[in-house]
Amino acid sequence: MQKWSLLFFAVLMNICSVGSLAQRNYGSFVFHSKKPKLDWKLQDVEHTDQHTVLVIDIYSLDNNENCFAFYQSSYITLNNLSGALRPVKWTINGTERPLDDPRCFFKNSKGKYLRNKLYFPRIPVGYDYFNFYMRDFISWKNIYAKNANATRQTNYTEQSLREHWNESVFSPIEGIYQCIKVSGETKMSRSMRLGIMYNKETSAYDAIVINAHDFWSIGEVIGELVPAEREGLFKANYWLNRNKVPVESRLFAAFNGTGMAIATDKARAEFVKLYPVGNYDETPSARCKWSGTGWAIGNGYLVTNNHVAEGPKNCVAEGTRTITVYGIDGNFNVGYSAEVVSTDKVNDIAILKINDNRFQGYGTIPYGVSARVADVGEDVFVLGFPLGNVLGDEIKLTNGIINSRTGGANLFPNCYQIQAPITNGNSGGPMFDSKGNVIGIVVGGLNKELNLAENVGYAIKTSYLKIMIESASLPISFSDKNSISNLSLPEKVKRVKNFVFYIECSK
């Protein structure tokens, strides 16, 4: 990987094409090759969101069959920047062609041309001139193509950030960080220093460059951290260059109070927090609201995850926590207040109770709760409210199978691993077996936050819930009898959806 193809954060987003930004006059970039007898003419240069594209027309000069290929030995260099870019794709008249696989002209093709497009990784913004070389015979230097800067620029310096935090409240992760160690497939400089600062407009934390390095300038936003549900974990976006081209691997970041690690499955960067250290004030109020899923278990009690009831640790605002339950009797216009009555932090389970005078009970709960250990291959389905603030309050169904009775290579023995996509907001929801019994409590978004496989989810076994209820001596019955075992899946969902709730919390 090249020095300026840095690997640091994660994104997870698609950047819109910035279109063609080329200078049209390339008449001087022509090459006449003798073997093969061909004319090579640069017609245009295009910058897209991820590529710099050379448009090259190729003509035959005689009546013989002439063959050529764009070899991996072709490359781009930039003045005053080490390393080279190799081609990643080649098309002829719009049809993709394997690199290094020769393309031959037919005889008598003189005067006809083939339109070739050779794709390279996008060159960094700030470099409008580059050089193209192909094997030993093409050498085109100082090719010009306007390369606009898409990176957001701030006026922050290290000093101004320090002054800002001296006068304002801030969350624990905000501060100044120094890179101290890199490993894996990255050549990122250990001299990198960043300011991590909350951005109210995006509800994420900007990573601001505060020491010039490589092609980055002070004040530029090099990436962002998006808070995840799990304590101290963030989804990360990092841009390879000023075009905001994201790295291809999914990234995550972990914060432990004194430092931060950002990693993919192939690379890792570690940072130490330099300032501020010690006591922290409250986080911005926009971070003090979260949501999840819960489900009825009788007598006004409901089950969810402990991390839903407790809230993210990076929300340290003062004040009383409020828990509001929506969806009772299928009504999402009325919220009922609830309180925490028992928690199991180790297994991430919480039991809440409705404490609202308007509450008249759930009615007859149609499903059972089974503490049996399910088998690998069993069909399951999950109900919940993933990304409730975005996708709305209509309950969402996900179905799949159990692919392991322990989660993540035995990392989570209290969980089932299921082949079903789970995302933030599903946390605390019920996982049903094929008969309609609850056999697990969903742990929302765990796979994505830990950079694990897509379409893999985790659910805490209900045997741990049974132990918790018995230990707390709560008046809750625990039976696997239900009235929906013989119904189809759509009918099961219709019968149980009014007993699965959207939980909104704030502080």
Report the range of poorest mean pLDDT among 57-66, 220-229, 245-254, 346-355.
245-254
Token look-up 């759930």 returns 362
Indicate the SS3 state at residue 496. Answer: helix
- pLDDT tens digits, residue range 361-394? 999 999 999 989 899 999 999 998 875 544 456 7
- Mean pLDDT throughout 122-150? 83
Question: Residue 144 is encoded by which pair of tokens?
Answer: 């010009």
Q: What is the reported pLDDT for 21? A: 33
Residue 107 has pLDDT above 70, yes or no: no
Q: What is the reported pLDDT for 2? A: 33
Most confident of 181-195, 206-220, 229-243: 206-220
How far, in whole angstroms, is CA 155 from its chain's centroid?
A: 27
Q: What is the reported pLDDT for 287? A: 45
Indicate the SS3 state at residue 127. Answer: coil
In angstroms, the CA 393 to CA 385 distance is: 7
In angstroms, the CA 308 to CA 80 distance is: 51
Q: What is the reported pLDDT for 302? A: 96
Question: Which residues make Cβ contacts (< 8 Å) with residue 235, sequence separation at least 6?
Answer: 10, 12, 225, 226, 228, 251, 252, 253, 448, 449
What is the pLDDT of the chain when averaged over all its residues? Answer: 79
pTM value is 0.47
- pLDDT tens digits, residue range 449-480? 444 445 678 899 999 999 999 999 999 887 77
- pLDDT tens digits, residue range 389-426? 444 567 888 888 998 887 654 456 788 988 876 766 78
Q: What is the reported pLDDT for 105? A: 61
State yes or no: cis peptide before 36, omega within 30 of 0: yes
Residue 127 has pLDDT above 70, yes or no: yes
In angstroms, the CA 162 to CA 167 distance is: 9
Identify which has the larger pLDDT, 332 or 464.
464
In angstroms, the CA 370 to CA 485 distance is: 13
Report the range of poorest mean pLDDT among 70-79, 138-147, 206-215.
70-79
Q: What is the reported pLDDT for 240? A: 64
Question: Which residues make Cβ contacts (< 8 Å) with residue 420, sequence separation at least 6?
Answer: 380, 381, 382, 398, 399, 400, 401, 455, 456, 457
Most confident of 8-12, 94-98, 228-232, 406-410: 94-98
Q: How confident is the model at residue 294 (pLDDT cuts 50, 70, 90)?
A: very high
Identify which has the larger pLDDT, 77 or 13.
77
- Mean pLDDT throughout 77-101? 85
Torsional class of 299: left (φ above 0), alpha (ψ -120 to 50), beta (otherwise)? left
Indicate the SS3 state at residue 276. Answer: coil
User: Could you say which DSSP state residue 311 is in?
Assistant: -
- pLDDT tens digits, residue range 278-289? 544 333 344 467
- Mean pLDDT throughout 131-144? 88
Residue 73 has pLDDT above 80, yes or no: no
In angstroms, the CA 408 to CA 427 distance is: 17
CB 457 within 8 A of CB 441: no
Give strand ranges (E) for 109-247. 113-121, 129-134, 138-144, 175-184, 193-199, 204-209, 221-227, 233-238
Q: What is the reported pLDDT for 230? A: 65
| Rounded (to 5) percent helix, strand, coil in the chain | 10, 40, 50
Residue 8 has pLDDT above 80, yes or no: no
Alpha helices in 297-435 (DSSP H): 306-310, 388-391
Give me the sign of the Cα torsion angle 440, 444, 445, 450.
negative
- Mean pLDDT throughout 423-431? 83
In angstroms, the CA 260 to CA 232 distance is: 9
Q: On the CB side of 249, how many CA atoms lie within 13 Å of its CA?
A: 18
Q: What is the reported pLDDT for 477? A: 82
Q: What is the reported pLDDT for 12? A: 24
- pLDDT tens digits, residue range 184-211? 766 566 778 999 999 888 888 999 999 9
- pLDDT tens digits, residue range 12-57? 222 222 233 334 578 889 988 877 778 889 999 998 877 899 999 8
In angstroms, the CA 444 to CA 465 distance is: 17
Q: What is the reported pLDDT for 14? A: 27
